[in-house]
Structures are given as C-alpha cells and as structure tokens.
Amino acid sequence: MGRPILKAYIQFGLVTIPVGLFTLQDPQDLSFRLLHKVCLKPIENRRWCPTHEKMIPFEDTVRAFEFTKERFVPLTEEELSRDIESAKGIRIERFVALSEIDPVHFEKAYLTAPEEVGRKAYRLLVTALRASKKAALGTMVMRSKQHVALLRTVGNQIVLHTLLLPAEIREAEGLDFGEDLEVNPQEQKMALSLIKTMTASANLGQFKDDWREKILAVVKAKVAGEPIAPEMAPVPKVVPTDNLVESLRASMKVARRKPEPTLKREKAEAR
C-alpha cells in the first residue's frame, strides 16, 4: 500500500486512535504532454516574474492569498502551520445512517489503518460501527482546507470519505428538465419493463475503460510505425417524442438477448 499520505488520529469521544491515511483511489487516467507542434518538444512551465522580467528560483517564492483582484497577503510556512497538531485530528461529532448522505457530496476516499498503539481502539470502533449500522461524521483539516469527513466500515477496515458541503454543490439554475411534460401510462410501463429486464448486480469489475485501451493501441501502433485506420464512433440518434414506445420496445428485444459481460467472455476465451 506504500506510505501513508497523512498521519492523523481519530477522536472517538475521549478515545484517541492514531491512524495513517492511504489513498484508495487509483484513477487510470492517461497523461498527455503539451508539445510545440513544429519541433515536437515539450513546452516548459517556468516561474517568470513579469515585474523583474526574469526567471525566479523556487526558494524566492512565497504562497499568498488573493483577497481582491491582484492584491495579495503573503503567508509564511509558520502561519500556514498554526495549530497543525490539532488539525491532524479527525473529530467524530455525530453518528448517522449512511443513507442520509446524498452520493453527490462524496469527494475522495482514503483507507485508514491504525498504528500499533491504536489497534485495539480501532478494532472496537469497527465493531461498534458495524453493530450500530451507523457511519461517523466529523471534521478534519487536510491540504489547506477543513473537510467534513465520513467514516464507514468496509469489511474490517474503516474508510474515510471527504465530503463536499452544500455550498460546494452547484444549483441547477436555468436548466430545462422537461417538468412541464406529461408521460403517458404506456410509455411509463415500457420504461419500467426495460429497467426490470436490465436490472442486475452492480459488479463494477465487469466494466473496463475501452477508450483508454483504444488510445494505448493507437500509441503502440504509431511507435511501431504502423498506419492508423480512422475509427469513427456511431452518433446516437435522438428519438422523436412521438416514437418513444417503439424505441423502448426495440430496446427490450436487445436487452433480452443478454450477452455475456465483456470481462467474463474474455476470461472464458483465455482458458
């Protein structure tokens, strides 16, 4: 798992549990560099001071807060580190049902693991959370921001989720959701039938990043000097409003075929 990104402690009443936080998510994003298209050399990002018209070494930089446009308050490392010990605490303030938290508020996930001295208290918290069927809600400071933190059990572990506050969720203003339109009973019945036909267990392991694989195949071919055949994805057709039932009926026929999930089929072929 590597080294923890942060050493902190969970405050459960008067019980203090020292833990390490480990990054759980590992997005398989492709990384692209920006090149000059004439010479195909990487573009450099430099620390340029427009006032002195020269490059600035890192040791001559300072972090600052822009309180109004182009007006800054510099902050020293000592000022940014004020009360840092108390900031390391994950203070549990209440226990809630996990269903109360709208998934739109979930931001990032971290695995917590106890230090040697906190193993028994950590185990106690795990068993108590499981028995009560509750999650813990509290606050913590990480990366120059105070977060609302949710602690929940996954097996014998406690996973910490940072949550977005209501003020950090955008309002859906000025958008049209078709709320003035009526859905007739036949359309509703067909839509519910399609949902029932396509209902299955949420096995995320059966999904894969096809786009990533295709891009890597293109990169591999170009490195090998092979020609690249253009591949255009089909453009989905927008269904006319008066033809929804027919489209749903056709969708039912396709769904009933139920082809094997891609990953299962690949494993069978590998055998």
Domain locations in the chain as residue ranges: 6-26+82-167, 185-228+241-270
pLDDT at 165: 92
pLDDT of residue 233: 64
pLDDT tens by residue, 214-257: 778 888 887 888 877 767 666 666 666 677 888 888 888 888 87
175: number of CA atoms within 13 Å, CB side? 5
Q: Which of 91, 109, 93 is nearest to 26 (CA)?
A: 109
Please report the pLDDT score of residue 131 as a whole number: 96
Q: CA angle, 17 as apex, 16 and 21 as ends, to 5°?
A: 135
Query: For tokens 């020292």, what's the residue?
Result: 18
Under the banding of pLDDT at 50, 70 and 90, the label for residue 158 is very high
| pLDDT classification of 94: cutoffs 50, 70, 90 | very high
CB atoms within 10 A of CB 149: 23
Considering the chain, what is the average pLDDT of its residues?
Answer: 84
Return the higher-pLDDT residue of 171 and 77: 171
Q: Which of 148, 153, 126, 128 is nearest to 138 (CA)?
A: 148
At 266, the pLDDT band (50, 70, 90 cuts) reads very low
Q: Decide the pairing of beta strands 146-154 and 135-141.
A: antiparallel
**Span 165-178, average pLDDT:** 90
Q: Flag whether pLDDT at 163 surpasses 80.
A: yes
Comparison of pLDDT for 135 and 244, the residue scoring more: 135
Which of 37-46, 93-102, 115-124 shows the lowest per-residue confidence on average (mean pLDDT)? 37-46
Out of 2.40.290.10, 3.40.50.150, 3.20.20.10, 1.10.10.10, select the CATH number for domain 6-26+82-167: 2.40.290.10
What is the token pair recorded at 259?
A: 């082809």
Copy the structure tokens of residue 12.
């459960």
pLDDT at 110: 95
pLDDT more than 70, % of the chain:
86
What single-letter amino acid sits at 118? G
Q: Give the predicted TM-score (pTM) of the model.
A: 0.72
Q: Of the spans 38-52, 79-93, 107-121, 219-233, which averages the highest pLDDT?
A: 107-121
